[in-house]
Amino acid sequence: MNEKYISRSSAIAARLLGNEMMIMSAADSTFFTLDEVATVIWQAADGQTPLSQIAGRICEQFDVDHQQAERDAEHFIDELAKHGILMLSDKPAINFGPQQER
Amino acid sequence: MDLLGEMNQKALELGVPLSVHLDITYRCNERCVHCYLDHDDHGEMTTAEIKDILSQMADAGVFFLTLSGGEVLMRRDFFEIVEYATSLSFNIRIKTNGVMIHEKEAHRLRELGVEQIQISVYSHRPEVHDAITKLPGSLKRTLAAIRFLLSQGLKVTIANVLMKPNLADGSGVMALAKELGVPYALDPTITPMMDGGRSVLALRAPASEIRNAFRDSALVGDVEKFCAPPPPPGEEIMEGYPCSAGHTGCYISPYGDVFPCVQFPLPSGNLRTQRFLDIWRDSDQLKEVRSIRAKDLPTCSTCSHVGTCTRCPGLAYMEGNMRGPSTADCEKSFLRTGIPSANMIRQLRSNASLVQIQAQ
């Protein structure tokens, strides 16, 4: 199976409020909040970490099986990709240095 | 409650400053007749100072960042500041007169992911708009900027201030906004000068014009609902806060001074000597602002408008008491509903007794 990689769009507003991530797309002003599982995916979306590894982190933290975690992650990624917030690729992104995460 | 409202409530409970309005300069290329600012530079923060406070704000949880002035593009490092703010994942909104925005600047703002740009237009007629801004050719340049921004796919809103010099032009600006396909907002509020000067208040629109604006469905939506008498206030209203000033938002001046709001000049700390989060959490002034509930307002808590009034605690502060009424908002509540506010009734009574004394 080919690995998948996800990265965050560069012009997206995001901030952790309590345990939820707030996200707003400048392109269409859509406002989202992410639950704890989705926040883990968002924070791991560095373009370098394979989706299978992200699913592994979810399994460790939230007591779900790997297949379920990967299915949930793909569903979440598809939703955010529709709004141009996450980008999905079958190759790792070129690394321009660490993204600032808050 | 919508999602954004839920986040605001959560930020309030967690004590997080969700929004900051940062004026990066008071310098301006226009000299609007109603402006409340002193446009001289008294020692603006440097690029490095601004970047440092942006980092502090991101760490403190600030999400919505409004960059304003003065005219933001008067700073040569404006795009460097926006670029840095983008790297910190703020939702960025900009207020500008647009005069210095051309195709290149519009493209850069798009690249940097700016979410919204608010531009002031005071009339559809150059002779009126330019007389207000005191910059010949400003309307032409501002409208060109709006078109450049729209061509980049950016969201623009037009803001107008209703005042004596442009009383006849509200509908003209609204038609212009419609033609451009952008939202339009009209505000009748004229704010006293930051140094306390009140001469600009002479520009306030007459009551009859504000009353007409409140009955224009294109501006207020459902007129009947907007102008309806206020419902009796419940406990939730009386225990509630007047607005977000100092609760989930604050204002920072180009000199690093922190205030509860851009319209609330209560000095609460300075970022050149204190950390942002220390001021946010520990400032006595912000604590005092946060301690005030509607039930604590001596006059307004007895007013039928208490739950629906747009009472601004900053304007009340400028009138001498942050717990007192803001008379411009008392007037607006009256003009909207036809029901006098408790403050207006109190003043009428006090004036009546003066007349009786004079008659004796």
Interchain CB distance below 8 Å, B91 and A26: yes
Q: Does B87 touch chain A (CB under 8 A)?
A: yes
Checking if the pLDDT of B154 tops 80, the result is: yes
Of B280 and A100, the structure prediction assigns the larger pLDDT to B280
Q: What is the pLDDT of residues B162-188, one digit of tens each?
A: 999 999 999 999 999 999 999 999 999
B95-121 mean pLDDT: 97
pLDDT at B268 over 50: yes
For chain A, percent of residues with pLDDT exceeding 70: 90
Name which of A10, A12, A22, A99 to mutate to probe chain B: the one with the most chain B Cβ atoms within 10 A of its Cβ.
Answer: A22
Contacts of A93 by beta carbon, 8 Å cutoff, 6+ apart: A5, A7, A46, A47, A48
| A-B C-beta contacts closer than 8 Å | 62
Q: Tell me: the pLDDT tens digits for A14-30?
A: 999 998 999 998 888 88
Contact between chains at B91 and A24 (C-beta distance less than 8 A): yes
User: Does A69 have pLDDT greater than 50?
Assistant: yes
Show residues of chain A in contact with B8, CB under 8 Å: none
Please give the share of chain B, as a percent, with pLDDT higher than 70. 97
Give the residue-averaged pLDDT of B345-358.
Answer: 68
At residue A22, φ and ψ (nearest 5 deg) are: -95, 140
Distance (Å) from the C-alpha of residue A30 to the closest C-alpha of chain B? 10
Average pLDDT of every residue of chain B: 93
As a whole number of angstroms, the distance between CA B198 and CA B137 comes to 29
pTM of the model: 0.91
Residues of B in contact with A13 (CB under 8 A): 63, 89-92, 113, 115
With CB atoms and an 8 Å threshold, state whether B61 touches A16.
yes
Q: What is the pLDDT of residues B134-152, one digit of tens each?
A: 999 999 999 999 999 999 9
Residues of chain B in contact with residue A31, where contact means CB-CB under 8 angstroms, are 3-4
Q: Test A14 with B89 for CB contact under 8 angstroms.
A: yes
In this structure, what token pair is assigned to residue B332? 């607006």
B108 touches chain A (CB under 8 A): no
DSSP H helices in chain B = 3-14, 47-60, 78-87, 103-111, 126-133, 138-151, 170-180, 207-214, 217-220, 223-226, 235-238, 276-282, 284-291, 313-318, 327-337, 342-359
| Cα torsion B244, B61, B88, B78: sign | positive
Q: What are the tokens at A60?
A: 């460790």
List, for residues B213-226, the tens digit of each pLDDT value.
899 888 888 999 99
Query: Do B148 and B118 meet the contact criterion of CB atoms below 8 Å apart?
Result: no
What's residue A19's pLDDT?
86
> Distance (Å, rounded) from C-alpha B84 to C-alpha B103?
21
In this model, does residue A102 exceed pLDDT 70?
Answer: no
pLDDT score for B242: 77
- The confidence score (pLDDT) of residue B352 equals 63
Under the banding of pLDDT at 50, 70 and 90, the label for residue B359 is very low
pLDDT of residue A101: 54
